[in-house]
Amino acid sequence: MAFQRLSMASRPLPRLLASSPSPSLSSYTRTASHAQPLSLSLAISAVGPRDRHRSQFQRRIQLQRHQHRHYPSYSQVDPRLSRQLIRGVSAPIAQTLLVARSNKIRSPLSLSLSHSHRPGLFFSTATSPHLQTRRSTTMAVGTVLITGGTGYIGSFTTLALLDAGYDVVIVDSLYNSSKVAIDRIELLAGRRPDFYQVDITNEKALDEVFAKHPAIDSVIHFAALKAVGESSIIPLEYYRVNVGGSIALLQSMTRYNVTNIVFSSSATVYGDATRFPDMIPIPEHCPIGPTNTYGRTKSMIEDVITDYVNAQRTNLEKEGKPFQQWNGALLRYFNPCGAHPSGIMGEDPQGVPFNLLPLLGQVATGQREKLLVFGEDYPSRDGTAIRDYIHVVDLARGHLEALNYLRSKQPGVKAWNLGSGRGSTVFEIIKAFSNVVGRDLKYEVVARRPGDVLDLTANPKLANEELQWKTELTMEKACEDLWRWVSNNPQGYRQEPPAELLAAIKKA
């Protein structure tokens, strides 16, 4: 989409909000209100002296258009956003992008302001208040390789990164995913990520991708086998793909000087946290102790990344070379669930799903007769196991924040829990999903599964504070979005989504 560029001098922007801490901030808001946006999406980049010293924060605000053109004040909209904005504009060298969407604006407009903060303002003609997607950008914030990017969490993270102005290159073997995910990402983001069908254990193929895309400076690593039960049946395959694949990736990254890695770890690494006093909700300092092969591969990869990044930093420092560019984020997610609110993107495993909510989705659509509940003799409020369910859209945003943190703060290796802090039992989930579907879903209680634990509820305080990230969407919202996805697409990506859902996106 083309933008028309104007200078600050050619269009002075009046102050709107008396309470605004920054004249430049109020200028943006004022201009946005002229445009009568139905939805505003705002991204702030604090850009350091060099390109890689850069962080970006993205938040969205929905501004309801009022009859009398009255808009809620900035702080009324989202206090966290305004805190970030203040920090963004007061940074010594900062760049602020404000993306506004409006069906009122006929010709897209870009304002380049020429004071020390050098903010830019971009309006796009796309209106998408509920889909929360970004249709255009004038520059890439950075380029990221996403392994496993056509999978469930990978596809949502790709969307979040494109939406925030990153360019994305995906490698995936399509072992448990479909290329159609890329079409859906493009439909929602208005941009298509590059894609290569590559096995993560194939170092040579990874080299070729890095060689073709020299702009890549970071990796988000999702590609893995992830079925807990299967991991105890074919453990060598789990170690080969998960651990071996991660080592191949680090080797290849090193050859191409790609030095930031965000890794998909799991709450499974904690094992049974109830074996210690005061470890529920689980903090990051809870001792690691996975109870199954899959969890052990994840904890082993955490160790591999930690040892390697630390060694790279130490060795380079000894040689008197820059070393702080080597960084790793170990993101321990709790139970990802839900789908895109548009109803056209969601989880579409190639075989039998392993997680509770997709299984319940199959019961609701009649593809499965009933849900098996593994154990009702846990010491919980209703006897079933407790998990922390996190909406996949929130989780994807967590990756964006972790990536931005690595690139701006260069902390070395850090682990963060990505969870809501709210635990729900299996029975509570069945009830919440049944409420959304409008009828009781059939289940049967069977014996506990070996390796399952009573309670995996996150303490997300560290991510809340350091990454300025916290969940915004509830488990109930995840149930709603999941039902919209499965009821409209019972065949997942093997069918076209209903015309009315596509029409809603096109209209937006």
Ligand X SMILES: NC(=O)c1ccc[n+]([C@@H]2O[C@H](COP(=O)([O-])OP(=O)(O)OC[C@H]3O[C@@H](n4cnc5c(N)ncnc54)[C@H](O)[C@@H]3O)[C@@H](O)[C@H]2O)c1
Residues forming contacts to ligand X in the complex (CB under 6 A) are 148, 150-154, 172-177, 199-201, 222-226, 241, 245, 264, 266, 333, 335-336, 355
For residue 276, give both structure tokens.
Answer: 């210690």
Nearer to ligand X, 41 or 355 (CB): 355
Nearer to ligand X, 127 or 355 (CB): 355
Please say whether the beta carbons of 36 and 104 come within 8 A. Answer: yes
Give the residues across from 456 on adjacent strands.
387
Q: Which residue is nearest to ligand X (CB)?
A: 151
Sheet-wide strand order for 216-221: 194-197, 167-172, 143-147, 216-221, 260-266, 327-333, 413-418
Report the nearest approach of ligand X to the CB of residue 405 (Å).
19
d(CA 255, CA 11): 48
Helix (H, G, I), strand (E, B) or coil at 166: coil
Report the nearest approach of ligand X to the CB of residue 330 (Å).
11
Nearer to ligand X, 128 or 335 (CB): 335
Active-site residue, from 294, 333, 389, 493: 294
Nearer to ligand X, 95 or 173 (CB): 173
Report the nearest approach of ligand X to the CB of residue 153 (Å).
4
Nearer to ligand X, 241 or 373 (CB): 241
Nearer to ligand X, 36 or 186 (CB): 186
Helix (H, G, I), strand (E, B) or coil at 208: helix
Report the nearest approach of ligand X to the CB of residue 433 (Å).
16
389 catalytic per annotation: no
The number of residues in the chain equals 508
Q: Is the peptide bond before 460 cis (omega within 30 degrees of 0)?
A: no
Report the nearest approach of ligand X to the CB of residue 28 (Å).
36
Q: What are phi and psi of 349, to 5 degrees?
A: -65, 150
Which whole-number Å values give the CA distances from 47 to 122, 269, 288, 323, 331, in the listed order? 18, 35, 36, 20, 25
Report the nearest approach of ligand X to the CB of residue 61 (Å).
29
Which whole-number Å values give the CA distances from 126 to 31, 67, 106, 108, 393, in the listed order? 17, 22, 10, 9, 21
d(CA 459, CA 463): 9
User: Using alpha carbons only, what angle is made at residue 372 by residues 366 and 377, rounded to the nearest 5 degrees?
Assistant: 150
Report the nearest approach of ligand X to the CB of residue 446 (Å).
21
Give the residues across from 40 on adjacent strands.
61, 100
Give the residues across from 294 on adjacent strands.
none
Non-local (6+) Cβ contacts of 39 within 8 A are 60, 61, 62, 63, 100, 101, 127, 128, 129, 132
d(CA 105, CA 121): 14
For residue 72, give both structure tokens.
Answer: 């809620």
Nearer to ligand X, 128 or 299 (CB): 299
List residues with catalytic annotation.
294
